[in-house]
Amino acid sequence: MLRLGECRGCLLSVVAPSVIAVAQIFLTSAASAQASDPPTDWVQEKYGWREAYGGFDVARDQWLAYSGMTFALGSPDIYSDGWRLRLGGGYGRYGYDSIQPHTNCGDATSNDICGEDGRSRKHYQVGHSYAEVLLGYYLQLGRLTAKAFAGAAMSSKDHLKSDPDTRDDGTRYGVKGALEFWLTLSADSWTSLDLSYSTARNESGSQWRYGWRVSPKLSIGPELRYDKNVETGDGAWNGRAGLFTRYEWSGGEISLAGGGLWRVENWAAKNPSAYGTVNVLFQY
């Protein structure tokens, strides 16, 4: 949660309309792709029935480390149709500035009202952790890979130093649902779309990527991301626009990404920050 700086309008022309349109474009492309078979030189290499992942995300005054595992239940490998069990969690921190309440208040009837003296800006750090247990299904439909998950979620928030204006610390439990799509457009390009929602802290998120294969194992391309939760507030959300590179091998992959992050309030982009992520995945 970032509350410093301002960059009105710089995100709206790129992220906002793109996030709204991406789902429609993705589904249209998927329907078109089903009309033909996968490219003859594209083969999904199958390896292992367990998938372990982990990563690190950092921006100005915030960071998050996460990890998890996915198990193929009754399937010979992680790329065969069937049920999946996913366990995941993470811990991170974010900071924000807040102006303290009035401390110099007198008698309003004597025109001695609260003054601005004594109001100072303080910086707070918040620890955040989450965990989830999800049951899902993996389905391969030609070029389109679809995954659907649902299960239990936990989200915890705790100020390292108490903020008198905030009283929602603690742990909340809820249910979470997630949809993940991967569409192979050709031997040289692909696109993916991930959507999720959790009732634990009213958390919703989405991420879209479009990858060009500069080699059979190396992809590069743009990414967009949308995030919102109970702390974000009404009419506000967090958006990202950046570039990624992804390298894959038999039984694993590593992905690096970076770009710009903004907080959007009432369709005005604020608090610009750079961000960076690294994610590693292994199958065995």
Using CB atoms within 10 Å of the CB of residue 12, give its burial: 0 to 12 exposed, 13 to 18 middle, 19+ buried: middle
Report field, pTM of the whole predicted structure over 0.95: no
pLDDT tens figures, 238-272: 999 999 999 999 899 999 999 999 988 887 888 89
C-alpha–C-alpha distance, residues 27 and 32, integer Å: 9
Is the per-residue pLDDT at 2 higher than 90?
no
When the pLDDT of each residue in the chain is averaged and rounded to a whole number, the result is 83
Residue 107: what pLDDT?
55
C-alpha–C-alpha distance, residues 181 and 23, integer Å: 10
Q: Which helix (H) or strand (E) holds 15?
A: helix 15-33
Is the per-residue pLDDT at 56 higher than 60?
yes
pLDDT tens figures, 109-165: 555 556 555 557 788 899 999 999 999 999 999 999 999 999 999 999 998 887 777
Task: At 76, list the tokens.
Answer: 């010979």
The pLDDT > 70 percentage for the chain reads 76
pLDDT tens figures, 190-235: 999 999 999 998 999 999 999 999 999 999 999 999 999 877 777 7
